């Protein structure tokens, strides 16, 4: 499935973690706080809904090697939005989390639970480039490249139920 078809049906009905609607000012402020340019495909998805639960048919990503989570996949049950309202974490919590957990930088954390994080990885492309998507295991310190960019990551999402 192509990204433009997926983005309109990516969200669950759960409103936990949903931030106020995304504005250009919100994006500009976030990019200033984070010190980098956010992926346009991520922003396209967040303009549909600014964070929250992911639809059940797109809540896992297959992996080529085992992780602390599973032999062949990782969960992607929610995507953090941009903002300071609402419940849960926001992309704006990334600087604190990266420092607190000793994660590599520069990254933008998209989803996770403290033991693991899925993030936009700017280490190779720089602050203005198109970041890859990486799995960061905070317990082992390992990281696993998942997709060349956010669009490819979203297009590769599958139902978690298909792995169990």
pLDDT in tens, 8-38: 888 998 888 899 999 999 999 999 999 999 9
Tens of pLDDT along 75-133? Answer: 999 999 999 876 789 999 999 999 999 999 999 999 999 899 999 999 999 999 999 99
Between CA 6 and CA 76 the distance in angstroms is: 15
Where do we find the tokens 């989570």?
A: 69
Q: Give the closest residue to 97 by CA, choosing from 79, 86, 111.
A: 111
Q: Can you give the pLDDT at residue 144?
A: 97
Give the pLDDT band (50/70/90) at residue 72. Answer: very high
Q: Can you give the pLDDT at residue 7?
A: 83
Q: Can you give the pLDDT at residue 14?
A: 84
Q: Where are the beta strands (DSSP E) in 63-131?
A: 73-75, 78-79, 107-112, 116-121
Give the pLDDT band (50/70/90) at residue 54. Answer: very high
Q: Can you give the pLDDT at residue 86?
A: 65
Q: Can you give the pLDDT at residue 5?
A: 84
């Amino acid at each position: 499935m192509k990204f433009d078809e997926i983005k309109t049906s990516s969200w669950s009905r759960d409103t936990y973690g949903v931030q106020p609607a995304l504005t250009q000012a919100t994006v500009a402020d976030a990019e200033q706080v984070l010190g980098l340019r956010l992926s346009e495909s991520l922003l396209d998805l967040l303009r549909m809904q600014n964070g929250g639960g992911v639809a059940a048919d797109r809540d896992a990503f297959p992996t080529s090697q085992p992780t602390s989570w599973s032999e062949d996949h990782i969960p992607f049950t929610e995507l953090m939005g941009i903002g300071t309202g609402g419940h849960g974490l926001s992309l704006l919590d990334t600087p604190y989390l990266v420092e607190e957990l000793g994660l590599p930088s520069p990254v933008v954390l998209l989803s996770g639970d403290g033991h693991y994080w899925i993030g936009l990885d700017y280490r190779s492309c720089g602050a203005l480039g198109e970041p890859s998507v990486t799995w960061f295991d905070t317990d082992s310190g390992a990281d696993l490249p998942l997709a060349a960019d956010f669009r490819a990551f979203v297009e590769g999402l599958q139902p978690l139920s298909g792995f169990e």
